Amino acid sequence: MNEVIEKGVPEGFMVDNKGRYVPLKLVKDIDKLEDQLVGKCMGYADELSSQIARFKGHTFDDVGAFMDLLAEKHGVTKGGTKGNVTFTSYDGCQKVQVAVQDHLEFGPQLQIAKDLIDECICDWSAGAHDAIRGLVNLAFNVDKPGQVNRAALFQLRRYEVDDDRWRRAVQAINDSIRTIGSKTYIRFYRRENPEDKWQAVTIDLASAK
């Protein structure tokens, strides 16, 4: 980076996208206004991002402290496995959920499973296992080679078909699943009374009203 840029932009100039100093009198008014707009919005965005980061950190600290208190008091943890836990207000109208979501990928065994399943389908008589045929097409996204539908794929594993190839295919699917990481999410909900449906408290821009 140019040494002058590191020390600040000289008065009466702006820096273009190639790092060059451009006299203000040569910059179009509309470009100046756009630059001001972006700077203003980014200032608010940076401030809000910092607030959300602090809020997230404080929330996880508070949840962790409460879990430690439970463990100390009762010797047990609240909620299910993998860190999934739900906290509810005394009146039943506010809820905080902490969820751990695994990130999965599928190994080469998945292709073996697909080949075995294809063999089964080819041998089935017309009309037999039509529901499974449709689910197989959905699971392996036959119109998009190389892609899989996780939900449909996991549902396939629940079917019990009296065919050794099918059982080997299900085992191949199980063997193909690899956990490559996980991410912890925290979600907030509220409702007017305990009989109402939960309404999510949106924090992301896409869902904000």
Distance CA 59, CA 111 (A): 43
Residues 13 and 20: their CA atoms lie apart, in Å, by 9
Reported in sequence order, the residue ranges of the chain that DSSP labels E, i.e. its strands, are 13-15, 21-23, 85-88, 94-106, 177-190, 199-200
Please list, residue by residue across 98-116, b when 16 or more beta carbons sit within 10 angstroms of its beta carbon and e when fewer do: bbeeeeeebeebbebbbeb
Residue 181: CA count within 13 A, CB half-sphere: 2
Put simply, whether the predicted model's pTM sits higher than 0.75 gets the answer: no
pLDDT at 163: 86
Nearest to 94 by CA among 205, 207, 196: 196
- In terms of Cα–Cα distance, which of 160, 63, 156 is closest to 114? 156
Unique residue bearing structure tokens 């600040």: 8
Number of helices (H), then strands (E), belonging to the chain: the values are 6, 6
What pLDDT shows up at residue 102? 81
Q: Which amino acid is at 199?
A: Q
Per 3-state DSSP, what percentage of the chain is helix, strand, and coil (rounded to 5)? 50, 20, 35
Sequential pLDDT tens for the chain (209 residues): 444 444 578 899 999 999 999 999 999 999 999 999 999 999 999 999 999 999 989 998 998 888 888 888 887 655 544 568 899 999 999 999 998 888 888 888 988 998 998 888 888 876 667 778 788 878 887 555 567 888 888 888 888 888 899 999 999 999 999 888 888 888 999 999 999 999 999 887 666 65
Q: What letter represents residue 120's amino acid?
A: C
Question: Strands 21-23 and 94-106, how do they pair?
Answer: unpaired
* pLDDT value of residue 47: 94
